[in-house]
Amino acid sequence: MRIAIAGDHNGFALKSLLCPELSGSGHEVVDLGGRSAEEIDYPALCARVCARVTDGRAERGIVLGGSGLGETIACNKLPGIRAGLCHDVWTAEVSRGNNDSNVLVLPALRLTGDLARRIVAVWLSTPFKGGKHARRVAQIAELERGGRL
């Protein structure tokens, strides 16, 4: 799978741990920054990852930030993005299975490396359930286009 990944200064260490593991598992990983633990604003990082997802250069995106809250808001402002903030394995499974999320946001300051690895593995391997969930995802897309339900 092609995965675009980025992390701000709070997510840099965890991103540095995840990138080689994802590559080692056979994924094609594109690291879009930050490049150090020096402070960096996250909205541009989110935009880079999301652009790769929406234009097809990446099948999925991963964004890491301190709490992940701002990153989730920023990602979900972009058309075609369904970003899920996941802080445990259950939210990762629901994010993919029910919401067909295409961007995973991780709260780097709240996760151990081991838990982050498990969340990413579940998120990458969980299929979208479709059915009633597809109807709801379509309704979200309609809201995104400015439609009414």
Q: Which residue has the tokens 């080689």?
A: 20
For residue 69, give both structure tokens.
């809250």
Residue 34 has a pLDDT of 96
Residue 110 has a pLDDT of 98
Residue 79 has a pLDDT of 96
- pTM here is 0.97
Q: Does domain 2-144 have CATH number 3.40.50.620?
A: no
Q: Return the domain boundaries, the chain.
A: 2-144
What Rg, from alpha-carbon coordinates, does the chain have? 14
Residue 127 has a pLDDT of 98
The alpha carbon dihedral of 86, 80, 46, 23 has a sign of: positive
Q: Which residue has the tokens 């709070």?
A: 10
Contacts for 127-136 with beta carbons within 8 Å, 24 or more apart? 127/96, 127/97, 128/96, 128/97, 128/100, 129/97, 129/98, 133/97, 133/98, 133/99, 133/100, 134/100, 136/98, 136/99
Residue 136 has a pLDDT of 97
Angle at 96 between CA 91 and CA 100, to 5 degrees: 135
Residue 3 has a pLDDT of 98
The Cα 124–Cα 110 span in angstroms is 20
Contacts of 110 (CB under 8 A, 6+ apart): 67, 87
Residue 144 has a pLDDT of 94
Q: Which residue has the tokens 């995802």?
A: 137
With a cut of 70, which residues of the chain have pLDDT below it? none
